[in-house]
Amino acid sequence: EAAVTQSPRSKVAVTGGKVTLSCHQTNNHDYMYWYRQDTGHGLRLIHYSYVADSTEKGDIPDGYKASRPSQENFSLILELASLSQTAVYFCASSDPTGEGYEQYFGPGTRLTVL
């Protein structure tokens, strides 16, 4: 079964600090995604990537950067963390050759910005 792991699983950060969330997949998938989940908003796409060394903006990219140094790894970077970025963050991967492009999600990272 497809495997996506995230680290850390939870993090407390201070306002204005830098935060890096990491994601690793062993699915050999080309596509990777970062979402945030907030109560009442479902899952919203922040950044995505379809090839190493390239990233694309999603629907809510402001305040976030992404990095895809290899096919397996995809990072989300908050250069200046703010209170509004407190949320649960999910990474996902998908295979463009699979039917319907099912996305496989990691277990999430709970980020609290104080």
Q: Pick from 26, 11, 52: which is nearest to 106 by CA?
A: 26
Q: Does 71 bind other proteins (CB under 8 A)?
A: no
- Smaller CB separation from other proteins, 31 or 64: 31
Beta carbon nearer to other proteins, 18 or 41:
41
Q: Is 90 in the site for other proteins (CB under 8 A)?
A: yes
- Could you tell me if 5 and 20 are in contact, meaning their C-beta atoms sit under 8 angstroms apart? no
> Measured from the CB atom, is 40 or 84 closer to other proteins?
40
The correct pick among 16, 79, 107, 112 for binding other proteins (CB under 8 A) is 107
Cis status, amide bond into 8, omega within 30 of 0: yes
Q: How far is the CB of 114 from other proteins (least distance, A)?
A: 22
Question: For binding to other proteins (CB under 8 A), which residues are involved?
Answer: 4, 31, 33, 35, 40-45, 48, 50, 56, 58, 90, 92, 94, 96, 99-108
